Every structure is written in C-alpha cells, then in structure tokens.
Amino acid sequence: EDQVTQSPEALRLQEGESSSLNCSYTVSGLRGLFWYRQDPGKGPEFLFTLYSAGEEKEKERLKATLTKKESFLHITAPKPEDSATYLCAASSNTGKLIFGQGTTLQVKP
Amino acid sequence: DGGITQSPKYLFRKEGQNVTLSCEQNLNHDAMYWYRQDPGQGLRLIYYSQIVNDFQKGDIAEGYSVSREKKESFPLTVTSAQKNPTAFYLCASSRPAQGVGTEAFFGQGTRLTVV
C-alpha cells in the first residue's frame, strides 16, 4: 500500500536554531517527491520536487534531500516567518499523489 | 493570470443534502485531484483524474462523486451518504509528463460545514 509518513508532527524552534523534518515513503514506482508549505486556512504552496536518490534542492533557508526511502527538509537558521505546516507528497506510477500528515513548525523570536 | 479557482470559499449544508464544490483551472493541466483536510491533519485523497472522461477513487471516496467532462473542470459532489462531511476541501492540478510526476498546484480551498 502506498504510504507517506512525516515526523515529527510538531516542532518548536528558537529563531536561528537549525533542524530537519523527515518524510518516509513507500510508493509503487516513485515518479516524484514533493515538498509544500501550508499556512492556516490556505492551499499548500509548492516548494521542491525531487526525482532520484542523492538529489538536493535549495531555496533560501530550506534544503530538501532524497534517499531511496526518505526525504529530509533541512531548515537552516529559521526565522519566525518560516512558521507553517510543511507537507511531503509522493507521486506513484498510477498517478496518485499521496500526502503525509504534515509537520507543524513554530519558530519563536 | 493562470491558476486554480475553487468556489465557494465557505459552504454550509443541511444534513441530508447533496452539495457540489467547483474547481476550475486554466493551466492546461491534464491531471486534477480532490483532497479533504481535517483540523491538524494532512491531505487525504478523495478522487483523481489523469485525463478527461476518466477518474479513479482515492483513499476516501465513499460518499463523494466527481465528473471530468472538460479538461478545465473537476467538480466534487458531497452526497448525503458522507457521514462526516465537515472539512476543508482542496483541489489541485498537475501536468504529468510521461515517466515523471510534476508538481501539483492548489486552489485556496472550500470550507464545508454541515449545519
């Protein structure tokens, strides 16, 4: 069964305190691994796409990496405006796009 | 501007009524998706469609129905058979290329409340 699991469910950081979010996936014929940011009451906003193990993508304070079983979203020196829910999703070879339950990040000044 | 439009933003339904949520995209995307999000939860897949006149059930399709008569439109009907319909509903679209998946773009959601 296709499945995506994220951890931790919630993460509280002080401003400037770096950390990582985990996304474990079991998907038939992975066609892509995606990271999104979601603010309360809004639709998810696309961040990154990863296709193959060893691939990395970076944007400002965020870096996403991919292995054969997991993806990580590294947050370096976060700021309060990085507070949001971060969602991971995997696309299977049947066309399904499956999401994890998300990690809610709170960055305190 | 290209994008995905969901309407209405807020919807109230009486118990026993069917209600239809609208999703329109002008991105020329082939694939469209419907998700349900409950408070503090991730997105659960209701239905998805990779091409016009074809769609597949997701993980929680019971009590929902869809149609895909046009490339631009993928309406979702929440039927009276859905026992707990109060939730935030999100529509998305993507342009899958052969062999790889492409990122999906989301609408701003419809919040459905049963009264």
A81-101 pLDDT per residue, tens: 999 999 999 998 888 889 999
* Count of A-B CB contacts under 8 Å: 70
Q: Using DSSP bridges, classify how beta strands A10-14 and A103-108 pair: parallel, antiparallel or unpaired.
A: parallel
Chain A residues whose beta carbon lies within 8 Å of the beta carbon of residue B102: 32, 49
| Per-residue pLDDT at B75 | 98
Contact of A99 with chain B, judged by CB distance below 8 Å, is answered with yes
Contact of B16 with chain A, judged by CB distance below 8 Å, is answered with no
Average pLDDT, chain A: 95
| Per-residue pLDDT at B97 | 55
Closest CA to B42 of A28, A25, A54: A25
Rounded to an integer, what distance in angstroms lies between the CA atom of residue A3 and that of residue A90? 8
| Per-residue pLDDT at B64 | 97
% of chain B residues with pLDDT over 90: 77
Contact of B108 with chain A, judged by CB distance below 8 Å, is answered with yes
**The pLDDT of residue A29 is above 90:** no
| Per-residue pLDDT at B1 | 63
Chain A residues whose beta carbon lies within 8 Å of the beta carbon of residue B96: 31, 91, 95
Integer-rounded Cα radius of gyration of chain B: 14
DSSP character at residue A77: S
**The pLDDT of residue A24 is above 60:** yes
Average pLDDT, chain B: 92
**The pLDDT of residue B100 is above 70:** no
% of chain A residues with pLDDT over 90: 87
Mean pLDDT of all residues in A30-51:
94
The answer to whether residues B25 and B72 touch, using CB atoms and an 8 Å cutoff, is yes
Compute the nearest-CA separation of B98 from chain A (Å): 10
Chain B residues whose beta carbon lies within 8 Å of the beta carbon of residue A95: 31, 48, 50, 56, 96
Chain B residues whose beta carbon lies within 8 Å of the beta carbon of residue A51: 100
Q: How far is C-alpha B4 from the geometric centre of its chain's CA atoms?
A: 11
Contact of A102 with chain B, judged by CB distance below 8 Å, is answered with yes
- Residue A53: pLDDT band by 50, 70, 90 thresholds? very high
**The pLDDT of residue A11 is above 70:** yes
- Residue B86: pLDDT band by 50, 70, 90 thresholds? very high
Compute the nearest-CA separation of B84 from chain A (Å): 19
Mean pLDDT of all residues in B79-84:
90
**The pLDDT of residue B102 is above 60:** yes
| Per-residue pLDDT at A96 | 87
Closest CA to A74 of A34, A25, A18: A18
Mutation pick from A3, A97, A104, A106 vs chain B, by most beta carbons of B within 10 Å, is: A97
**The pLDDT of residue B98 is above 70:** no
Task: Please name the residue of chain A whose CA is at the shortest distance from the CA of residue B58.
Answer: A96
Mean pLDDT of all residues in B26-39:
94
